[in-house]
Structure 1
């Protein structure tokens, strides 16, 4: 084996090693990318649920106020009815 063959073989091994490292980095970055996309989707759903919760709490407050108003009206009507 001549010197140029040894250099060529060493360069080929280095290229193979660099390719292997790049492949490992690519796979890791792809995994991180998928995690990031999953987190984005989870954050989006969390925002949607939070908006729905706010709307439901607001509707519940309105319903409670309406029930209180109806109870006050009922008390007034009952006070107006003579007791026999």
Structure 2
């Protein structure tokens, strides 16, 4: 085996190693990309749930105010009724 053959085989092995490293990096980046997409979806759902929670809290405050108003009216009506 001549020096040129050994050099060619060494270059071929080095190219194979580089190809393997690139393949592993590609798989790793694909996993990171999938994780990023999952986080983006989770963030979107979290925003939706937060908006729904705000709306529900607002509706609850309005409902409590309505109940208080009705209780006040009930007290006024009860005070107007003759007690026996």
TM-score (norm 1): 0.96
2: CA distance between counterparts of 1:83 and 1:2?
A: 120
TM-score (norm 2): 0.96
User: Deviation of residue 41 (structure 1)?
Assistant: 0.6
- What residue number does 1:33 align with? 33
| Structure 1 alignment gaps of length 5 or more | none
- What residue number does 1:43 align with? 43
**Which contiguous aligned blocks of 4+ residues in structure 1 show a shift greater than 4 angstroms?**
none
What is the Cα-based RMSD across aligned positions, in Å?
0.7
2: CA distance between counterparts of 1:44 and 1:4?
A: 59
2: CA distance between counterparts of 1:19 and 1:55?
A: 54
- What residue number does 1:69 align with? 69
How many matched pairs? 84
1: CA distance between counterparts of 2:4 and 2:48?
A: 65
| Structure 2 alignment gaps of length 5 or more | none
